[in-house]
């Protein structure tokens, strides 16, 4: 992620309609996943930044994060003691497995996503869940992807296949932010005509920001199963017995 974007991320996460809607979608999904385990579930947020999502996750149980950016970890406040500084690799030894692992807009940054998913799979408890979100469709690539150092965007079949290769059972896959596809296509067309450096996103004026939150929350409730969108979310399950893996 661009260094200037890192500095702006906390405010964007707290205020921007896109992050507010995504958090609401994720919390609703996690409530369904952990309904029999909350408030005693063990949860790991991978590449958690300054721990901005950990406050919302706390209601479900014991929350930890892992983050490789020391500057982000230093800004994590009360979560500093729960965030492991490093990568999700062989050096990470959390001491116990997790009921839920989150890979939220992570895999698009990774050169070897198969390896990362295999590590995540090994850290899940029997029947534990993995939630993945990634940006969707290569043809929606814009300067925003460049700014964020994305390596690729995924289709639903591509992310399902990737997760299944980690010996996980995909339970559901759905696109998010369906009506954002057209604006992104317009941005892509404009960028093809006009050159310039990628610009940091900003928080829209309050009335517009609130209206967009209402719109996209309603869209997800009504049209959340349409086969297109600007993001993809996948939920997968670890084997109920490790002998099945």
Confidence (pLDDT) at 245: 45
The rounded distance, in Å, linking the Cα atoms of 7 and 200 is 11
Give the per-residue pLDDT at 5. Answer: 62
Instruction: Examine the pLDDT at 242 and tell me if it is beyond 80.
Output: no
Number of neighbours of residue 160 by Cβ within 10 angstroms? 18
What are 76-106's pLDDT values in tens digits?
999 999 999 999 998 999 989 999 999 999 9
Considering the entire predicted model, what is its pTM? 0.94
Percentage of the chain surpassing pLDDT 90? 82
pLDDT at 243 over 80: no
For residues 154 and 233, the answer to whether their CB atoms sit within 8 Å is no
Q: Residue 238 above 70 pLDDT?
A: yes
Q: Say what the pLDDT of residue 38 is.
A: 85
List the domains of the chain with CATH numbers.
3-240 (3.40.50.150)
44-81 pLDDT, tens digit each: 999 999 999 999 999 999 999 999 999 889 989 999 99
Question: How far, in Å, CA of 138 to CA of 157, rounded?
Answer: 13
Q: What integer pLDDT is reported at residue 9 of this predicted model?
A: 82
pLDDT for the residue numbered 6: 65
Q: Give counts: helices (H), strands (E), the chain.
A: 9, 7
CA 231 to CA 217: how far, in whole Å? Answer: 14
Rounded distance between C-alpha atoms, residue 33 and residue 100, angstroms: 9
pLDDT in tens, 99-139: 999 999 999 999 999 999 999 999 999 999 999 999 999 99
Residue 2 has pLDDT above 60, yes or no: no
């Amino acid at each position: 992620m661009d260094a200037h974007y890192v500095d702006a991320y906390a405010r964007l996460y707290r205020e921007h309609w896109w992050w507010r809607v995504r958090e609401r979608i994720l919390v609703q999904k996690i409530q369904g996943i952990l309904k029999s385990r909350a408030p005693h579930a063990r949860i790991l947020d991978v590449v958690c930044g300054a721990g901005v999502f950990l406050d919302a996750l706390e209601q479900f149980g014991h929350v930890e994060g892992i983050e490789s950016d020391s500057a982000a970890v230093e800004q994590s406040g009360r979560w500093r003691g729960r965030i492991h500084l490093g990568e999700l690799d062989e050096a990470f030894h959390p001491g116990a497995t997790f009921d839920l692992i989150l890979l939220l807009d992570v895999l698009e940054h990774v050169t070897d996503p198969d390896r990362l998913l295999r590590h995540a799979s090994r850290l899940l408890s029997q029947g534990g869940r993995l939630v993945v979100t990634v940006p969707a469709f290569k043809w929606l690539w814009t300067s925003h992807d460049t700014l964020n150092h994305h390596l690729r965007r995924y289709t639903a079949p591509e992310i399902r296949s990737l997760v299944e290769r980690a010996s996980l059972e995909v339970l559901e896959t759905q696109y998010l932010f369906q009506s954002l596809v057209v604006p992104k296509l317009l941005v892509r067309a404009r960028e093809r005509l006009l050159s310039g450096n990628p610009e940091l996103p900003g928080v829209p004026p309050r009335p517009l920001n609130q209206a967009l939150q209402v719109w996209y929350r309603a869209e997800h409730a009504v049209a959340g199963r349409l086969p297109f969108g600007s993001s993809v979310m996948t939920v997968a399950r670890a084997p109920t017995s490790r002998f099945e893996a």
